[in-house]
């Protein structure tokens, strides 16, 4: 249902050159070039930066691509509803998240929701905070769950949950039965997210303001690696939100300790969606399920672990 101009425009945007688009579409380069020129004349602006090696979208081109992709997704939803494919038994919910929620939280939420709605399917993309926000803005994902320090431009935050930094260790750890201060961490192997992550920013800021220096034994952008390091390294501690281990902490018999420093409480877990976009009935139902589950299970977790 796309016009020829738009179809050729997307092909060049995705492949990066007229010749590559020609091979993909089985259309002559000259024909694609003419259609792009017509589209630029109709819009009144250039859409690509033309280089010797190919063509790259400029700001105007990126705006057009985002709107076209959103329109395509809306059209897919409309066709699906017309054909009855948006019935509960065949609904697909497209999500994005950062690494922390992907470790245990979202898989467990998917499992529990599908127990009530076994025909619902999920498509999950995991990326950085910037990538997740862009997936929402572009319409590639219709729902996101990520830890954040600030509001993202063009993204609607539909639920927010306090997500202070916790110190997680095995139950036999020497610090498991004592109140925890940052200085207590010095003798023990510390597993932390990579520099630049929200949790690392808060942790490093807290250390600087407290006048102490703590160097992680392991720094990594995958929480699963940090978690395994903590489980199997004597005396190791991993810093994370309790939401990242909301279900797994009980199963693995862990100890979760607070650190009463204001800076470590500035992060939130945000449930995000596309601003102003209509939601399907099943997506709305899943959003309510996530809100209820995180609120209820979060309260149970804090009580159980003395937080």
Report domain extents, the chain. Answer: 4-68, 91-162+268-305, 165-265
CA gap 89, 226 in Å, rounded: 37
Asked if the domains at 91-162+268-305 and 165-265 fall in one CATH topology, the answer is yes
pLDDT at 112: 93
CA gap 134, 152 in Å, rounded: 9
CATH architecture of 4-68: Orthogonal Bundle (1.10)
**In terms of residues, how long is the chain?**
307
- CA 298 from centroid of its chain's CA atoms: 20
pLDDT tens digits in sequence order for the chain, 307 residues long: 467 888 888 888 888 888 888 888 888 888 888 888 888 888 888 989 888 778 888 988 888 888 888 777 777 766 666 665 444 456 888 999 988 899 999 999 999 999 988 888 999 999 888 888 888 888 888 899 988 777 667 778 888 998 888 899 999 999 988 888 888 888 999 998 888 788 888 888 888 887 888 888 999 989 999 999 999 999 999 988 899 999 999 899 999 988 877 777 778 888 988 877 778 888 889 999 999 999 999 889 888 888 7
pLDDT at 65: 87
CA gap 245, 103 in Å, rounded: 8
- The phi, psi pair for 97, rounded to 5°, reads -160, 165
pLDDT at 289: 92
CATH of domain 165-265: 3.40.190.290
User: Parallel, antiparallel, or unpaired for β 190-193 and 237-241?
Assistant: parallel
CATH architecture of 91-162+268-305: 3-Layer(aba) Sandwich (3.40)
pLDDT at 170: 93
pLDDT at 88: 46
CA gap 104, 125 in Å, rounded: 15
φ/ψ bin of 143: left (φ > 0), alpha (ψ from -120 to 50), beta (otherwise): beta
CA gap 5, 117 in Å, rounded: 41
Cβ-based neighbour number of residue 135 at 10 Å: 23
- CA 155 from centroid of its chain's CA atoms: 12
pLDDT at 24: 86
Q: Are 230 and 169 spatial neighbours (Cβ–Cβ below 8 Å)?
A: yes
Q: Are 101 and 145 spatial neighbours (Cβ–Cβ below 8 Å)?
A: yes
- Alpha-helical runs (H) found in 143-280: 198-210, 223-232, 248-251
């Amino acid at each position: 249902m796309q016009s020829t101009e738009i179809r050729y425009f997307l092909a060049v945007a995705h492949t990066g050159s007229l010749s590559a688009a020609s091979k993909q579409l089985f259309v002559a380069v000259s024909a694609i070039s003419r259609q792009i020129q017509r589209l630029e004349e109709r819009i009144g602006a250039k859409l690509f930066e033309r280089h010797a090696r190919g063509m790259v979208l400029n700001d105007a081109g990126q705006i057009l691509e985002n709107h076209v992709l959103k329109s395509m997704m809306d059209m897919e939803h409309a066709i699906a509803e017309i054909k009855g494919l948006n019935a509960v038994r065949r609904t697909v919910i497209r999500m994005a998240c950062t690494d922390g929620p992907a470790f245990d939280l979202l898989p467990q939420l998917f499992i529990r929701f599908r127990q009530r709605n076994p025909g619902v399917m999920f498509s999950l993309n995991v990326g950085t905070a910037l990538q997740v926000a862009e997936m929402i803005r572009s319409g590639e994902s219709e729902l996101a769950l990520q830890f954040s320090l600030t509001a993202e431009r063009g993204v609607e935050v539909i639920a927010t949950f306090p997500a202070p930094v916790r110190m997680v260790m095995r139950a036999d750890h020497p610090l498991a039965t004592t109140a925890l201060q940052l200085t207590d961490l010095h003798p023990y192997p510390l597993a932390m997210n990579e520099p630049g992550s929200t949790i690392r920013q808060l942790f490093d800021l807290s250390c600087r303001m407290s006048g102490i220096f703590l160097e992680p034994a392991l720094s990594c952008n995958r929480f699963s690696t940090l978690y395994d390091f903590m489980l199997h390294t004597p005396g190791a501690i991993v810093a994370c939100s309790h939401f990242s281990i909301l279900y797994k902490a009980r199963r693995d018999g862990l100890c979760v300790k607070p650190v009463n420093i204001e800076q470590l409480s500035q992060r939130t877990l945000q449930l995000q969606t596309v601003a102003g976009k209509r939601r399907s009935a099943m997506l709305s139902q899943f959003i309510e399920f996530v809100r209820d589950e995180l609120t209820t299970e979060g309260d149970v977790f804090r009580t159980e672990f003395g937080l």
